[in-house]
Structure 1
């Protein structure tokens, strides 16, 4: 009821439809895929984050606002990489709820201050493969920061050939195939901060 009030107050002409389960939600989105979905993830019949992401990616023009108070640390970290999913908590201020709704209307993501602070202050740490050498770990960090092979070679005062060899070894050891996967690994391992990556 509170969210209805916020939406009606900000967008007087908004059409508000309620879905009571996953099947009904998917049916609504199939008819009107350019929507904003305000979802209490913990109260809905979605079987885990992977299923939620499948639904979210099925409707790429939908902007999601997850509105809950029991989102796990791991869940929030995974969702923070998705550009069309906003996150707010039930204790979030009215101003932030308004901002989240307005951002969604403009196709922008919004993360409330409490979640943003949690993401910045306690980055997820994934234990790096024991096979990575300190040099490879540092090169992985530089790759994740968006540096080219040439820039990494200059930074480390090495030859381009040496960096290319290290890069191939890193990809082979981690079982990854491209810079995107390397960046995701480095983010989850805490080699670069999420904020640093987006800047």
Structure 2
């Protein structure tokens, strides 16, 4: 029986993973992690786990940070499942490790099923969208930051970088949580970033937030 570490902080997809995994009847006990520290502790206890991770909702600092964790736990295997992952991020993973598969949250059911079955054998799987990103050519958005983000997106990026949650931003801007999540998704896609840490680093570099405000 293979232990599974579920590291997805989005309720609906978290519940979906539990449903599909329980239906397989081939996995060991489930463990859940809410952040990188908890995940690391669980990997020490269960080094041969299948890890299902939404990278964009976790506190990894970069693709390299994630790969380093994978390499420290070589008997584990990972499935990355997020709404958006940038092309540079995917390329880094693809060339640095074969320890993980990639799905997007809008992947077809057949892709989820194939990915899971291969993951238990430690065989890598890339969904069609990930393959298209890796094979396609994209212009780097970070080359012209001021021309990429709308003023609304810059305002939301500033609030994200200051540590506010999606719910807090929605309340402050009198918007729905869904609207803020859509803006956040677009910001991450345009800037080719994947985490709040990267968003904060970008906002500091671009002058969207002041370092003094950030550290306060």
Measured against the shorter chain, the TM-score band is 0.5 to 0.7
Q: Report which of the two structures shows the higher radius of gyration computed on alpha carbons.
A: 1
Q: 1:120 aligns to what?
A: 135
Deviations 1:52-109 (A, max 9, x none): 1111110011101000012111001111122111100000011111111111100100
Residue number in structure 2 paired with 1:107: 122
Deviations 1:173-199 (A, max 9, x none): xxxxxxxxxxxxxxxxxxxxxxxxxxx
Does the Cα contact within 8 Å between 2:54 and 2:80 map onto a contact in 1?
A: yes
Paired position in structure 2 for 1:56 = 70
The answer for unaligned runs of 5 or more in structure 2 is 1-14, 141-216
Which residue of 1 is the match for residue 83 of structure 2? 69
Q: CA deviation at 1:123?
A: 8.2
Of 19, 30, 36, the match for 1:22: 36
Q: CA deviation at 1:118?
A: 2.0
CA distance in 1, matches of 2:113, 2:139: 29
Matches within 5 A, 1:1-199: 1-11=15-25, 13-81=27-95, 82-122=97-137
Please report how far the alpha carbon of residue 12 of structure 1 lies from its aligned counterpart in structure 2 after TM superposition.
Answer: 5.0
SS in 2 for 1:109: coil
Q: TM-score, normalised by structure 1?
A: 0.59
> Which range is displaced more, 33-42 or 73-82?
73-82
The whole-number CA distance in structure 1 between the counterparts of 2:92 and 2:139 is 10
Q: Deviations over 1:103-157 (max 9, x none)?
A: 11001001001111221233899xxxxxxxxxxxxxxxxxxxxxxxxxxxxxxxx
Greater RCO (Cα-Cα under 8 Å, separation 6 or more): 2
Count of aligned pairs between the two proteins:
125
CA distance in 2 between counterparts of 1:78 and 1:22 reads 19
CA distance in 1, matches of 2:117, 2:73: 20
Provide the C-alpha distance between the structure 2 equivalents of 1:50 and 1:78, rounded to a whole number of angstroms: 8
The structure richer in strand per residue is 2
Residues 23 and 93 of structure 1: CA distance in aligned 2, closer, same or farther (over 3 Å): same
Q: Work out whether residues 87 and 110 of structure 1, in 8 Å CA contact, stay in contact via their aligned partners in 2.
A: yes
Gaps of 5+ in 1: 126-199
Q: How does the TM-score come out when normalised to structure 2?
A: 0.55
